[in-house]
Amino acid sequence: MNRTLPEVDSLQAEQDARVVVALSGVTYTYEGESAPVLRDIALTVTSGEFVLILGPSGCGKSTFLYLLNGSVPHILNGALEGAATICGKSVAETKVAEFATDVGMVFQDPEAQIINTRVRDEVCFGLENLCRPVNEIVARQTEALRLVGLTEFGDRSIFELSGGEKQRVSIAAVLAARPRLLVLDEPTANLDPAGMAEIFAVLERLNREHGTTIIMVEHRVDELADKVSRVVMMDRGAIVFDGAPRAAFSSRRVVHSEEAVVVPTASWFPQVSEFAIDLAAASRCDLPVDQVPLSVDEAFALASNWSMPAEAAAAQNKPQPDERQQGTPLLSIKSLSFGYDRNTPILRGVDLEIQSNAIVALLGRNGSGKTTLARMLVGINSAPAGSIKLEGRDISRLSAREIASEIGYVFQNPDHQFVTDRVDEEVAYSLKVRDFGQEEIAARVDEVLEIVDLHRYRARSPYNLSLGERRRLSVATMLVLQPRVLVLDEPTIGQDHERAQLLMGLMDRLRKRYGTTILMITHDVRLVAEWADRALVLRSGRIAFDGRPIDLFADDGLLSSTGLLAPPIHELSRRLAAQDPARGLRPVLSSGDLVSELAASRAMAMK
């Protein structure tokens, strides 16, 4: 059908109006740097899309997000090349304040974004600064709280809210301005699994029911893969993939670390997609893109109808139960109770022993007492006499220097422990104050910087590193002392899956080489499943579980009451085992183990 010129113009105008992000040839270099952090970016995002941005630490994801509201180049100074138009406005020619009602930004830590003490005041604050009429402010505040499922929370104190609820308040405050584009930078990084699920459910509802355009950076993809409409993968500042989620997770790729080292990866893969790839590889066949699962339901349907060839099944080895032997007790905790306010205890009668040469995960909801317990182990919070012993020595009788020589603590926020303005000096600091010789200091610093992949940045300020790099530096400052116990508070925040695996691989080598005990506070159940020998779960300041991760994830009631979720592979393996008990399948924690279980079941059926 031939269209008249006015009709063509009208159609083009309508299409242009639907374009929210239009980038062409965008290259950006920070002031004082020679290498660009964004390289020849071309991307178009239209109204109603839900775009997930993935990539290794240091690949430019956060810089890309800052471009979307003009912080790049107007606040984070540098050279911007190419054409960048956001919500119809040229980034180069538009001030950040002029994007306030077009682009809503939500960051990792809700407490860093919230500035009021009452929920209603926080949601209204931005509109008040925009001088909106009172009636409009009240109506929009009510609508925004309804959208995030907090209708009855208007008069609540911010301090009474969980981490997930605080993040929902942050989102509501942004939504009240009715932005055309919602931009989120790892909004669940500091949340427990239950809080993460809350946020993902809110975002899915905003996108599907209200047509909100969303662009988000997030490493926790297992519960997100089936909710997004598009995946963009970045590597070394460039877009290397842009397409549908099934296509994104249909094959393994390679990425590059900050030091341009090629890393083979199943990076950012949902476990169920990784399982499908492993299953197809074991069956020696290709996996059609349209069969790549994005949820446990889809993976269950795929596995239920999959027929593994006899010769492939015979070649697989059935996994054996993990029977790691724990060493002798290193830390002993007896009847430990503690509270900053005597009338409100945080820890209540904690009893446990922690062995040497073990990796122990400490889990629980935000506010359950995990960090408080960890800080008592290193003397940041004073322990009652006789309640904590390190190889029989009462910690309350040891000096801070004596404790620090044997128990290292890596803070959740790495910036809280830096004391110098150079990376290498930061690593060397603890050795210098202990009067180590210059040659040994130099040797240890070189070794540790190589281990954590920061040797190229030894002359940089710690504060000029990315969050992932700062996290590795904070670990390095403790590793250099070769402690008996290393306490890691959320060690993988800001790390992509490969960096998390490398970091935990390092922890595993430490425990094998030096007998180091690793106690990691984490919300990452996949990390626990893959690396922990033992799981401890705190609930309201008490030990609610102490045992193997495989047993933890089998207890649905406990998981629900403590805000935890089982890894997708464990849930999938349980469903497959329950489907046909005669097959003898066991619940497992890894994709490879589940493929081996299925192969062994097939081999048994052929006999």
The three-point CA angle 330-367-109 to 5° equals 110
Six token digits for residue 21: 């992000």
- Using one digit for the tens of pLDDT, what is the confidence trace for 74-104? 999 999 999 999 999 999 999 999 998 899 9
pLDDT category at 457 given cuts 50, 70, 90 is: very high
Q: Please, is 157 exposed, middle or buried when counting C-beta atoms within 10 Å of its C-beta (0-12, 13-18, 19+)?
A: exposed
**Per-residue confidence (pLDDT) for residue 583, from 0 to 100:** 82
Using CA atoms, how far apart are residues 530 and 519, in angstroms rounded to an integer? 15
Using CA atoms, how far apart are residues 214 and 232, in angstroms rounded to an integer? 13
**Per-residue confidence (pLDDT) for residue 464, from 0 to 100:** 83
pLDDT above 50: residue 401: yes
pLDDT above 80: residue 70: yes
- Using one digit for the tens of pLDDT, what is the confidence trace for 332-391? 999 999 988 767 789 999 999 998 889 999 999 877 899 899 989 988 888 999 999 999
pLDDT above 70: residue 205: yes
pLDDT above 50: residue 429: yes
Using CA atoms, how far apart are residues 319 and 338, in angstroms rounded to an integer? 43
pLDDT above 90: residue 293: yes
Counting residues of the chain whose pLDDT is more than 70, the rounded percentage is 90
Nearest to 272 by CA among 544, 539, 526, 606: 526
Q: What is the mean pLDDT of residues 49-64?
A: 91
Counting residues of the chain whose pLDDT is more than 90, the rounded percentage is 60
**Per-residue confidence (pLDDT) for residue 381, from 0 to 100:** 87
Q: Is 474 helix (H, G, I), strand (E, B) or coil?
A: helix
Domains of the chain by start residue, with CATH:
19-251 (3.40.50.300), 271-322+569-606 (no CATH), 329-566 (3.40.50.300)
Helix axes 193-210 and 163-175, enclosed angle (nearest 10): 20
Six token digits for residue 562: 């403590």
Q: What is the mean pLDDT of residues 533-542?
A: 95
Using CA atoms, how far apart are residues 288 and 100, in angstroms rounded to an integer? 43
**Per-residue confidence (pLDDT) for residue 261, from 0 to 100:** 44
Integer angstrom CA distances of residue 88 from 17, 19, 20, 175 = 8, 8, 7, 19
Using CA atoms, how far apart are residues 606 and 603, in angstroms rounded to an integer? 5
pLDDT above 80: residue 7: no
**Per-residue confidence (pLDDT) for residue 336, from 0 to 100:** 95
pLDDT above 80: residue 314: no
pLDDT above 80: residue 309: no
- Using one digit for the tens of pLDDT, what is the confidence trace for 12-52? 555 566 999 999 999 999 998 899 999 999 999 999 999 99
**Per-residue confidence (pLDDT) for residue 265, from 0 to 100:** 46
pLDDT category at 264 given cuts 50, 70, 90 is: very low
pLDDT above 50: residue 315: yes
Q: Please, is 556 exposed, middle or buried when counting C-beta atoms within 10 Å of its C-beta (0-12, 13-18, 19+)?
A: exposed
Q: Give the rounded distance of the alpha carbon of 511 from its chain centre.
A: 24
**Per-residue confidence (pLDDT) for residue 11, from 0 to 100:** 47
**Per-residue confidence (pLDDT) for residue 529, from 0 to 100:** 94
Contact 570, 587 (CB under 8 A): yes
Cis peptide before 73 (omega within 30 of 0): yes
Name, of 64-73, 299-308, 377-386, 406-415, the range with top average pLDDT: 64-73
Integer angstrom CA distances of residue 152 from 122, 142, 171, 209, 443 = 15, 9, 16, 21, 59
pLDDT category at 323 given cuts 50, 70, 90 is: low
**Per-residue confidence (pLDDT) for residue 569, from 0 to 100:** 96
- Using one digit for the tens of pLDDT, what is the confidence trace for 134-180? 999 999 999 999 999 999 999 999 988 878 899 999 999 999 999 99
**Per-residue confidence (pLDDT) for residue 452, from 0 to 100:** 80
- Using one digit for the tens of pLDDT, what is the confidence trace for 546-604? 999 999 999 999 999 998 999 999 999 999 999 988 888 899 999 999 999 998 887 77
pLDDT category at 292 given cuts 50, 70, 90 is: very high
Q: How many CB atoms neighbour CB 321 within 10 A?
A: 8
Cα dihedral angle (100, 105, 111, 112), rounded to 10 degrees? Answer: -70
pLDDT above 70: residue 402: yes
pLDDT above 80: residue 319: no
Q: Is the dihedral of CA 94, 174, 48, 198 positive or negative?
A: positive
pLDDT category at 444 given cuts 50, 70, 90 is: very high
Using CA atoms, how far apart are residues 400 and 386, in angstroms rounded to an integer? 17
- β-sheet with 213-217: strand ranges across: 103-106, 181-185, 213-217, 50-54, 230-235, 238-243
* Least confident window among 287-291, 337-341, 394-398, 539-543: 337-341
Nearest to 391 by CA among 370, 407, 369: 407
Tell me the average pLDDT of the chain: 88
* Start-end of H helices in 399-452: 400-404, 423-433, 438-451
Length of the chain: 607
